[in-house]
Amino acid sequence: MGTFRDSLDLRALRFALAFPLLLAIGFVVCAQMLRRDLPDPVAVMWNADGGSAFAPFGAYVAGGAALITFFGWVAFLQAVPLSRPVIMRRVMMGIGLMVSLFITSVLAAGLVGQSTVGDARFSHVDPIVLAMGSGAAVSLGVVMMFAFKPDPRWTNEDDEALHTELLLAEDPDLARDSLRMWVHARSSVFVMIIVSTLFPAALIAVALPWLGALVAVVALIGAGFLFARVRADRAGLQVFAGGIVKVLAVPAVEIAVAAPAEVKAADFGGWGWRHHDDATAMLVSSGPAVVVRKLNGRRVALSAGTSASADKLAGILNRAAERAHPGGQPRQPG
C-alpha cells in the first residue's frame, strides 16, 4: 500500500477529486436558484428552431452534475501518477480544468437560455454565457498548466546531474575542458546573400513560382553553412554546420596539436565545409580560427569567432590530446 501511495502525487490527487465534485455541487445549487423561471420539462438538445429533446429538470441537473464530475476526474487523474512526464502532468491538469469548466458552461448556458421561457420548444442556448464560460475555461486551463508544480521526484535527469557533479568534484578541471559555442559569418555576408539571391528569387517567382522557391531554398541552405556549432571537450572536437549537420569530428586520440591562427578562407578552398589538399575545413569567414594537426598528418581548420575563443578552444583540444595519449603527451605527426 505504501508503495502505491508513493507512486502518486497526493496533492494533485486531492485537487483532482475535489474540484470537479465541488464544481458539480455549485452547478446544482445555481440550477435550483433558476428552478422557478424554467419550463417543465427542460430542453436538453436544440436545433435552429429551438428545443428538440426534453427531460425533467431533476434529470437534467443530476445528469449534468454527473458529467462534470466524471469527465473532470478522467482528465485530472492523468496528472496524478508520478511516473508520467512532468510536462504531461502539467498539460493534463490544465485540460482537466478546461473540460470541467467547459461542460459546466454548456449546461449553465442551456438553463439560462430557457429561463423566463414558458415553453422549452422555443428556447435556445444562451450565447453570452456559453462564450464567456468557454473563454474562461480555456484561459484558466492555460494558467493551470503554468501554475501547477508537480511534486519533485528523482528522475534520469537527476541521475545525470548527480553524475556530472560527482565528476566535477573529483576533477575540478573538467568544467574548464569543455566548450560550446556558435560561429557565423559577418552580417554583411548575409545581406549580400539576400540582395543577390532572395530578391531575384522573388522576381522569378512571379513568372515561375517553383523556380523562385528553388532559388530561395538553395540560398537558405548556403546561408546555413555559414553558421556552425562547435563542441569541444575531453572526447575531442565536433562541428555541426547550421547547428545540425555534423561535418567535422576529431577524437582526442587523433589530435597531435591544435593552435590558434589567423587564416584566409581562400587558403582552405573558401567558406563553408571544404576539403582542400591535406586539410578539411569549416570556415564561416576569414579571421580567427583553430588549426588542428592530426596524427596522420592531415589538418582540420575551423572558425573560432574571436582570438580569445580561438585560444580557449586550442587549449582545450591540446589538453584533451595530452590526456588521451599514453604517457600524457601526444605523438607528433609523421
DSSP secondary structure string for all residues of 263-331? E-GGGGTSSEEEEETTEEEEESSSEEEEEEEETTS-EEEEE-SSHHHHHHHHHHHHHHHHHHSGGGSPP
Residue-range domain boundaries for the chain: 2-147, 168-185+226-328
Q: Which fold has domain 168-185+226-328?
A: PH-domain like (2.30.29)
Give the per-residue pLDDT at 66: 94
pLDDT at 153: 61
Contact predicate 294/255, CB 8 Å: yes
Residue-by-residue pLDDT tens, the chain, 334 positions: 446 666 788 888 889 999 999 999 999 999 999 888 888 888 888 888 888 888 899 999 999 999 999 999 999 998 888 888 888 888 999 999 999 999 999 999 999 988 878 788 888 888 899 999 999 999 999 999 988 887 666 666 667 777 777 766 766 666 667 788 888 877 777 777 777 777 787 778 778 888 888 888 888 877 777 888 888 887 888 888 877 888 888 888 888 888 888 888 788 877 778 887 778 888 888 888 888 888 888 888 888 888 888 888 888 888 888 877 765 544 444 4
pLDDT of residue 331: 46
The per-residue pLDDT for 68 is 93
- Residue tagged 522573388 (cell numbers): 202
For Cα atoms 317, 321, 323, give the angle at the middle one, nearest 5 degrees.
120
Q: Going by DSSP bridges, is the β-strand pair 255-263/227-233 parallel, antiparallel, or unpaired?
A: unpaired
pLDDT of residue 1: 44
**C-alpha distance across the termini of the chain, in Å:** 69
| pLDDT digit string, tens, across residues 60-113 | 999 999 999 999 999 999 888 888 888 888 899 999 999 999 999 999 999 998
Query: Which phi and psi angles does 209 have, rounded to 5°?
Result: -55, -40
Q: Which pLDDT score is estimated for 327?
A: 57
Number of C-beta neighbours around residue 268 at 10 A: 25
Q: Check residue 62 and give its pLDDT.
A: 93
| Strand ordering across the sheet containing 245-251 | 179-184, 227-233, 236-241, 245-251
Strand pairing category for 299-303 and 279-283: parallel
pLDDT tens readout for residues 150-175: 766 666 666 777 777 776 676 666 66
| Confidence (pLDDT) at 4 | 67
